[in-house]
Amino acid sequence: MQTTYEQFCAAAEGVMAQIADACDRAGRARNEVALLAVTKTHPATAAEYAWRYGLPRVGENRVQEAAEKRPLAPPGLKWDLIGHLQSNKAKLAADLFDRVQSVDSEKLLLALERAAAARSKQLAILLQINAGNDPAKFGAEPEDAERLLETALRQPHLHVEGLMTIAPLSEDPSVAQRTFARLRSIRDDLQTRLRVSLPELSMGMSGDLAAAVAEGSTLVRVGTALFGSRPSSPAA
Ligand SMILES: *Cc1c(COP(=O)(O)O)cnc(C)c1O
């Protein structure tokens, strides 16, 4: 990872400039897109840097790693789970995270509802949709999104804020662009059909954030461009 806070700031300025530039080109206001600092595989210092810079949230993809780092990080920082979650870890996830972005099955929804209810808390969630139809990615299939959302809306302790997707890895940038456009159209459809508001579209990472902003992303999840490359990237 970037070793000093000054190096981190320089990287963060670069990412903020990329987001601003993409917003300008898309005719969107710069404050429509938030930056989630993805601290996975990096030490707890990474979360502290993000907080000091003024970023309110960090993203982690493993429950265990967050359990180790969160106690060391600034208490006001919010934590998002962005990696695949097994139902048997729902309780731990409900303890540790302020929002779970990777909800992709009815079984997981129900496990999170039980865990949130037992803790008398409201848990914010996003539904992860495999909008790129990528066999290598987790996420509910687009055809199942409506049923999953209906179930989610019936859970008193879960609050669905929107949708999340990860674009398939590809040399061809139009693949990511199409995936993001698809997620937005799924979102627009669901809002109309079920008469709900799904403001959050979590899409875009270090390599494809400009395309995501062009297609309506409200939250880009950035690791590498902020903290440098990871030793060995665990599969998302
Ligand atoms: C690791 C990860 C990211 C960040 O990826 P970078 O390419 O390092 O910016 C974003 N989203 C998810 C779900 C991830 O697992």
Atom of ligand 1 at shortest range from CA of 101: 13
Which DSSP symbol is given to 131? T
**CA of residue 221 to ligand 1 center, whole Å:** 6
Question: Do the domain assignments include residue 205?
Answer: yes
209: containing domain: 5-227
CATH number for 210 = 3.20.20.10
Which residue among 80, 82, 103, 163 is best mutated to probe the pocket of ligand 1, counting the most ligand atoms within 8 A of its Cβ? 82
Of 65, 56, 10, 18, residue with least CA distance to 37:
56
In this prediction, residue 15 carries a pLDDT of: 98
For the chain, 236 residues long, the average pLDDT of each consecutive 10-residue run is: 89 98 98 98 97 98 97 97 98 98 98 98 98 91 98 98 96 95 98 98 97 98 95 56
Question: Do the domain assignments include residue 79?
Answer: yes
List of residues 6+ apart from 161 with CB closer than 8 A: 99, 124, 125, 126, 198, 199, 200
67 lines ligand 1 (CB under 6 A): no
- Please classify residue 25 by burial: count the beta carbons closer than 10 Å to its beta carbon, then call 0-12 exposed, 13-18 middle and 19+ buried: exposed
Strand, helix or coil at 171?
coil
Question: Do the domain assignments include residue 62?
Answer: yes
Which residue among 97, 205, 206 is best mutated to probe the pocket of ligand 1, counting the most ligand atoms within 8 A of its Cβ? 205
Atom of ligand 1 at shortest range from CA of 207: 7
CA dist 95 and 213 (Å) reads 31
In this prediction, residue 234 carries a pLDDT of: 53
Atom of ligand 1 at shortest range from CA of 230: 8
**CA of residue 192 to ligand 1 center, whole Å:** 30
In this prediction, residue 236 carries a pLDDT of: 47
Atom of ligand 1 at shortest range from CA of 233: 1
Determine how many CB atoms are found less than 10 A away from the CB of residue 33.
23
61 lines ligand 1 (CB under 6 A): yes
207 lines ligand 1 (CB under 6 A): yes
In this prediction, residue 136 carries a pLDDT of: 85
178 lines ligand 1 (CB under 6 A): no
The structural domain count of the chain equals 1
pTM (predicted TM-score): 0.96
CA dist 84 and 63 (Å) reads 9
Question: Do the domain assignments include residue 63?
Answer: yes
**CA of residue 22 to ligand 1 center, whole Å:** 19
**CA of residue 57 to ligand 1 center, whole Å:** 14
222 lines ligand 1 (CB under 6 A): yes
Question: Do the domain assignments include residue 179?
Answer: yes
Question: Do the domain assignments include residue 235?
Answer: no
List of residues 6+ apart from 51 with CB closer than 8 A: 58, 73, 74, 76, 77
Question: Do the domain assignments include residue 101?
Answer: yes
